[in-house]
Chains A and B, each alone.
Chain A
Amino acid sequence: MEHKLDGNAAAGMLQAIFPFDMTLAQVTCAGCGTTTVIGATAAYMHGMGAIIRCPRCDNALIHIVHARGRYWLDMRSVRVLQMKER
């Protein structure tokens, strides 16, 4: 069952993959062009992962699934992902 939260809820899963503070990572939406920090996006959590949506146009930016020892990332709607070194 999906549960809408903010991007901070999906950040833990992303930080198991990317060695950066992912709540501050910036995503540029391929749909509307808006750039948002992941902490300010909408995250829909489900049993196997999450869907991160653009707060402006609701486009599904990142689909993340974690199962059977693998991560799947569908990021076709992210034009640019920007992360800052510490």
Chain B
Amino acid sequence: MERRTLLGRLSWQIGEVVAIRPETVRAKSITLDLPGWMGHRAGQHVDVRLTAEDAYQAERSYSIASPPEEAPRLTLTVERLDDGEVSPYLSEELRIGDKLELRGPIGGYFVWEAQMGGPLLLIAGGSGIVPLMAMLRHRTAVGSTVATRLLYSSRSLEDVICRYELDHLVKCNARLDGLCSPHRYPDATRSGLASRAAPADIYLWPHPVRRNGRGQPCGTGT
């Protein structure tokens, strides 16, 4: 008989950086070792807290990029915002061996597990792809064949995070379709997915999108 455990209050945990991998010019994947990590579900996020020498603290939320199958290791993919307070530190200053304070996992509202079935429609703008990568990696790790479609809009082809992995996943998976739509306006500011992926992009979709599928949109201005 499965024991239902009470969800405890979240508290801060310390993780150690064990790997840093550049994804694009602006984005890096940071892998952490977290001894106390109890696992997570694809789609969830963590809050990261930085404390300066003068005790000033800044917190931000980052989606977990790694699938649950990789616990107790956790990977976050962080895109540097030019005016960001936390992302420049994480993407430029952090080194292997550094410690990072975080709490989580957070968010049963935006999760997908293979047992939930499909068909699954994933829509992402920019760094919104990160929690969807966790879902796709989980789908691969458990050998799920749920019909899945990904629509991903980004500023340019160079800004597509995990581009080669996505290409590879789509090529190797009969039931996974992907469409990537780089913005048509190179000097456009960051805004919602709907205004950047043109209607014509949806018509390039190889199959019609079914009405009763599960939809997970994620990204700026969703």
* Chain A residues packing against B (C-beta within 8 Å): 5-9, 11-13, 15-21, 23-24, 37-40, 85-86
New A-B pairs, 6, CB < 8 Å, besides A12-B46, A15-B9: A6-B222, A9-B61, A12-B59, A19-B8, A23-B108, A86-B4
Cβ A15 vs Cβ B6 within 8 A: no
> Which of A6, A11, A19 is B7 in contact with, Cβ under 8 Å?
A19
- Report A-chain residues with C-beta under 8 Å of the C-beta of B46: 12
Distance of A2 from chain B, by nearest CB (Å): 14
Asked if B9 contacts A16 (CB within 8 A), the reply is yes
List the B residue with the shortest CB-CB distance to A21.
Answer: B108
- Cα A20 to Cα B10 in complex, Å, equals 9
Contact of A39 among B5, B8, B109 (CB under 8 A): B109
Contact of B103 among A7, A16, A20 (CB under 8 A): A16
Which A residues lie within 8 Å of B9 (CB)? 15-19
CB <8 Å contact, B11 and A23: no
Alpha-carbon separation in the docked complex, A5 to B47 (Å) = 14
Number of contacting residues on B, CB 8 A?
21
Query: Does residue B37 face the partner (Cβ distance < 8 Å to A)?
Result: no
Query: Does B72 touch A at the CB level, under 8 Å?
Result: no
Give chain B's interface secondary structure class. loop
Contact yes or no, A12 B104, CB < 8 A = yes
Min CB gap A35→B, angstroms: 14
B73 at the interface (CB under 8 A from A): no
Contact B107–A23 (Cβ < 8 Å): yes
CA distance A81 to B104 in the complex (A): 22
Given A8-B61, A9-B61, A12-B103; A19-B6 close (CB under 8 Å): yes
A85-B6, A86-B4, A86-B6 known; A8 and B106 CB under 8 Å?
Answer: yes
The answer for the CA separation of A12 and B44 in the assembled complex, in Å, is 11
Is B45 part of the binding interface, using a Cβ–Cβ cutoff of 8 Å? yes
Q: Can you show 22 pairs from A to B with CB atoms below 8 A apart?
A: A9-B61, A11-B106, A12-B106, A15-B7, A15-B9, A15-B106, A16-B10, A16-B11, A16-B103, A19-B6, A20-B7, A21-B107, A21-B109, A23-B110, A24-B108, A24-B109, A37-B109, A39-B107, A39-B110, A85-B4, A86-B4, A86-B6
Q: Which 5 pairs, one residue from A and one from B, show the smallest C-beta to C-beta distance?
A: A39-B109, A23-B109, A12-B47, A21-B108, A15-B10
**1/0 contact trace for B1-20 toward A, CB 8 Å?**
00011111111000000000
Q: How distant is the Cα of A17 from the Cα of B107 in the complex, in angstroms?
A: 15
Which one of A17, A21, A37, A86 has the greatest number of beta carbons of chain B within 10 Å?
A21
Given A23-B107, A24-B109: A8 touches B7 (CB 8 Å cut-off): no
Residues of A within 8 A of B108 (CB): 21, 23-24
**Smallest beta-carbon distance A75→chain B, Å:** 18
